[in-house]
Amino acid sequence: MLWTVDRIEDAYAVLISENPQLTFSVPLMALCGVREGDVLEISVDALETERRKTKNRDLLRSLFVDTSVTKNP
């Protein structure tokens, strides 16, 4: 989805979508050097999303490994 920097208000960039009824403000420090009129594309990175889900799932599982059970010799 494409968003246009409509205006800068204080420390925020006000973004409007291709459908002008959708707007939101983003701190300027999160958008490194944007100016009024700049067009931004916001998309989902499916591969990175899956990589992070897998990493977090593995971390969560490692936290709940039962180490109190000992095997009999």
Q: What is the pLDDT of residues 6-44, one digit of tens each?
A: 999 999 999 999 887 899 999 999 998 899 999 999 999
Q: Please check whether residue 69 lies inside any domain of the structure.
A: no
Question: What is the pLDDT confidence band of residue 66, given thresholds at 50, 70 and 90?
Answer: low
Give the structural domain span for 55: 2-63
Q: Please check whether residue 35 lies inside any domain of the structure.
A: yes
Q: Which residue has the tokens 């204080």?
A: 10
Calculate the alpha carbon distances from 17 to 1, 26, 49, 57, 72 in Å.
Answer: 7, 13, 23, 34, 64
Return the bridge partners of 2, or none: 41
Number of domains in the chain: 1
Q: Please check whether residue 73 lies inside any domain of the structure.
A: no
Q: Cβ neighbours of residue 8 under 8 Å, at least 6 residues apart? A: 14, 28, 35, 36
Q: Please check whether residue 71 lies inside any domain of the structure.
A: no
Q: What pLDDT is recorded for position 20?
A: 75
Q: Please check whether residue 70 lies inside any domain of the structure.
A: no
Asked whether the whole model's pTM tops 0.85, one would answer no
Q: With 60 as the cut, is the pLDDT of residue 73 above it?
A: no
Q: Please check whether residue 48 lies inside any domain of the structure.
A: yes
Query: Checking phi first, is residue 64 left (phi over 0); if not, alpha (psi -120 to 50) or beta?
Result: alpha
Q: What pLDDT is recorded for position 68?
A: 62
Q: Please check whether residue 68 lies inside any domain of the structure.
A: no
